[in-house]
Chains A and B, each alone.
Chain A
Amino acid sequence: MSLLTGVGARPVGAPGSDKAERRDRRRWLPYLLLLPGAAWLFLFFVVPTIQLGATSLYDPSGSVTAGYAMTWEFSNYPDAIAYAWPQILRSFSYAAIATVIGIVIGYPLAYAIAQKAGRWKNLLLVCVVAPMFTSFLVRTLAWKTILSDNGWLVGFLRDIGLLGDDGRLLATPAAVILGLTYNFLPFLVLPLYASLERLDYRLIEAAGDLYASPTRTFFKVTLPLSMPGLVAGTLLFFIPAVGDYINAALLGNTNTNMVGNVVNSAFLSRQEPPQGAALSFLLMAIILAIVFAYVRRSGTDEVV
């Protein structure tokens, strides 16, 4: 364990081979520390991703029991897109809408905690995380109860005329988007909070002193300074939202299925792994492209 202290790993005393030996040990030490974890990530993250790519090129005419032949079947991709393009589009549009709603409601929350909460800051922060202590599925099922046709919310909306007499919330795109927003909101609020917390309130006062209206102050001072947190937060929100299929499965209907639902059924019920792998791989490629474009555009490299 003594190997863990960096300052300790310095060459010592006697000249010659002993010193060289110590130098050597110091050079190898970080690799030794990294080895188990990096090997694990390589074996069970990198290799599987490569295998996923391989699976996406298997001959789709095989079967799980008979096995699949590697035939470099690039046509799996156009086929998969032709099969699932509505779900792909839905995944990205639902996730995008949820992200925008998340920013609209998450920003005031993060700002309120960071700049207005005073001594209640820590407690409110715990309150943001606390809902995640309950199981993801249990929370989503609770929304199913809240949004159900004979629940109080639907009744209330029908009474005030926002919903027609046979209007419903459950099994609609709105319910799925609401579920996505709900489940991933803390991932957006926390980094945003971290950015806003570092923001010196005197800068906002200075802007006001220099004749900027509150709106101008927000767009010229607050928003730019919170950009790193906003970028990190939207990514942490958007990425899992695109890949999610639980909200669509529990709160939606077959017309709100997202790409995850298709991938899930391809692997687990329809037994078409090449198609599922192709969609999954495609999803990853699109997300990576979006992430890099987004990070570059917003000029923040601090996301990692």
Chain B
Amino acid sequence: MRRWFADHWVMTVGLMVLLYLFLPIAVVAGLSFNRPSNRLSYDFNAFTTDNWTNLCGPADLCDAVGRSAWIGLLATVFATILGTLMAFALARHKFRGRSLTNLLIFLPMATPELVMGTSLLALFTAGGLQLGFVTILIAHIMFCVSFVVVTVKARLAGMDARLEEAAMDLYATPFQTFRRITLPLVLPGIVAAALLAFSLSFDDFIITNFNSGNTVTFPMYVWGANQRGIPPQVNVIGTAMFAIALLLVLATNVRRRRGARVA
């Protein structure tokens, strides 16, 4: 018994911590099926699927979700392009100013969102820029770029440079080498970076809160609704986000495992 405990306590503690991580998710999922007794009550009252079928019931909720998705998409596209180009420069070229560039990429990840949000607000105010969709987008691209660079760079660094040499040796021009070898092999990294960028943008509150003006994204909606009483549909969105992302991750994992077994 003592031996069993000695061997398994780490795993037991680990699983309990995971339980702690999942507790709120269970609550969110549960509340998504709740018919609240009144607007400010978050206790489980009665089971209903109304929240799922009547998703856009609360005024502006679906607009906010759509706006967040749209901003997320645009920010992802821009940040992925900018970040991927930078990752290629850093992984494949020698140049002066490399450490300065690395610092420029590292700092946004090491700076609290509070500081970045207020800095941008200070800039936009000083520049007389109208706060809204555009300022949110600018901010989101900015904080996503660094994460894209790091993700894509890691993938590039893990790639055997001899594969590209082999392609060139086998009569592939630089463009063909990129198209046939480099791109297919780096693509998983770029996709992962894009997914990360989207989730960062979709979920961002602090920076957006400072720079949104009157534009309401999904996190802004939740924040505002907190004062008036959260509609249970918010929990539906939370549960759906969780489920979709989990399915995506599991699907790629299964695919990779199948690939690994074939491989």
- Tell me if A242 is interfacial: C-beta within 8 Å of chain B: yes
Residues of A contacting B122 with CB < 8 Å?
A: 48, 51-52, 54-55, 273, 277
- Tell me if A141 is interfacial: C-beta within 8 Å of chain B: yes
Residues of A contacting B20 with CB < 8 Å?
A: 105, 182
Residues of A contacting B108 with CB < 8 Å?
A: 41, 45
* Separation of A220 and B161 alpha carbons in the complex (Å): 38
1/0 contact string of B137-161 vs chain A (CB within 8 Å): 0110110011001000000000001
Nearest Cβ on chain A to B244's Cβ, whole angstroms:
8
- Tell me if B47 is interfacial: C-beta within 8 Å of chain A: no
Nearest Cβ on chain A to B65's Cβ, whole angstroms:
10
> Which A residues between 103 and 134 are near B, CB-CB below 8 angstroms?
105-106, 108-109, 111-113, 116-117, 122-124, 126-134
Q: Is the interface of B mostly helix, strand, loop or mixed?
A: helix
> Which B residues between 97 and 113 are near A, CB-CB below 8 angstroms?
101-102, 104-108, 110-113
Residues of A contacting B141 with CB < 8 Å?
A: 40, 44
Q: Is the CB of A240 within 8 A of B112?
A: yes
> Which A residues between 1 and 40 are near B, CB-CB below 8 angstroms?
1-9, 27, 29-31, 33-34, 36-38, 40
Number of residues of chain B lying within 8 A (CB) of chain A: 98
- Tell me if A191 is interfacial: C-beta within 8 Å of chain B: no
The stretch among A80-88, A157-165, A243-251 that forms the contact with chain B is A243-251
- Tell me if B48 is interfacial: C-beta within 8 Å of chain A: no
Nearest Cβ on chain B to A23's Cβ, whole angstroms:
13
* Separation of A288 and B115 alpha carbons in the complex (Å): 12
Q: Is the CB of B142 within 8 A of A45?
A: yes
Known: A5-B92, A7-B168, A37-B82. Is A134-B242 also a contact (CB below 8 A)?
Answer: yes
- Tell me if B250 is interfacial: C-beta within 8 Å of chain A: yes
Instruction: Provide a sorted-by-A list of 8 A–B residue pairs whose CB atoms are within 8 angstroms.
Output: A34-B86, A37-B83, A113-B14, A130-B22, A134-B241, A136-B205, A142-B238, A287-B110
Task: Name the contact of B24 in the complex, choosing from A41, A143, A276 (C-beta under 8 A).
Answer: A143
Nearest Cβ on chain A to B28's Cβ, whole angstroms:
5
* Separation of A42 and B107 alpha carbons in the complex (Å): 11
Nearest Cβ on chain A to B33's Cβ, whole angstroms:
14
Residues of A within 8 A of B (CB): 1-9, 27, 29-31, 33-34, 36-38, 40-42, 44-49, 51-52, 54-55, 64, 105-106, 108-109, 111-113, 116-117, 122-124, 126-146, 148, 150-151, 182, 185-186, 214, 235, 239-240, 242-246, 250, 259-260, 263-264, 267-268, 273, 276-277, 280-281, 283-284, 287-288, 291, 304
Known A126-B253, A138-B234; 15 more pairs at CB < 8 Å: A1-B175, A36-B85, A37-B85, A40-B82, A40-B142, A45-B111, A51-B126, A55-B125, A108-B17, A135-B203, A141-B42, A144-B42, A267-B210, A277-B118, A281-B115
Which residue of B has the minimal Cβ distance to A129?
B249
Q: Is the CB of B21 within 8 A of A131?
A: yes
Residues of A contacting B242 with CB < 8 Å?
A: 130-131, 133-134
Q: Is the CB of B111 within 8 A of A138?
A: no
Task: Name the contact of B104 in the complex, choosing from A31, A46, A124, A263 (C-beta under 8 A).
Answer: A46
* Separation of A235 and B107 alpha carbons in the complex (Å): 13
Residues of B contacting A151 with CB < 8 Å?
A: 43
Residues of B contacting A108 with CB < 8 Å?
A: 10, 13-14, 17
Interface centre among A8, A235, A264 (most CB of B within 10 A): A8
> Which B residues between 242 and 257 are near A, CB-CB below 8 angstroms?
242, 244-246, 249-250, 253, 257
Residues of B contacting A5 with CB < 8 Å?
A: 92, 164, 174, 177-178, 182
Q: Is the CB of B178 within 8 A of A267?
A: no
Residues of B contacting A37 with CB < 8 Å?
A: 82-83, 85-86, 145, 149
Which residue of A has the minimal Cβ distance to B8?
A116
List of 3 A-B pairs having minimum Cβ-Cβ separation, nearest first: A8-B174, A243-B112, A112-B14
- Tell me if B165 is interfacial: C-beta within 8 Å of chain A: yes
Which residue of B has the minimal Cβ distance to A143?
B24
Which residue of A has the minimal Cβ distance to B179?
A1
- Tell me if B76 is interfacial: C-beta within 8 Å of chain A: no
* Separation of A27 and B89 alpha carbons in the complex (Å): 11
Known: A37-B85, A37-B145, A108-B14. Is A142-B118 also a contact (CB below 8 A)?
Answer: no
Nearest Cβ on chain B to A33's Cβ, whole angstroms:
4
Task: Name the contact of B115 in the complex, choosing from A41, A105, A143, A280 (C-beta under 8 A).
Answer: A280
Task: Name the contact of B114 in the complex, choosing from A116, A182, A280 (C-beta under 8 A).
Answer: A280
* Separation of A7 and B172 alpha carbons in the complex (Å): 12
Nearest Cβ on chain A to B123's Cβ, whole angstroms:
4
Which residue of B has the minimal Cβ distance to A123?
B253
- Tell me if B74 is interfacial: C-beta within 8 Å of chain A: no
Q: Is the CB of B115 within 8 A of A284?
A: yes
Task: Name the contact of B116 in the complex, choosing from A40, A45, A111 (C-beta under 8 A).
Answer: A45
Q: Is the CB of B118 within 8 A of A52?
A: yes
Task: Name the contact of A52 in the complex, choosing from B28, B110, B115 (C-beta under 8 A).
Answer: B115
Residues of B contacting A143 with CB < 8 Å?
A: 24
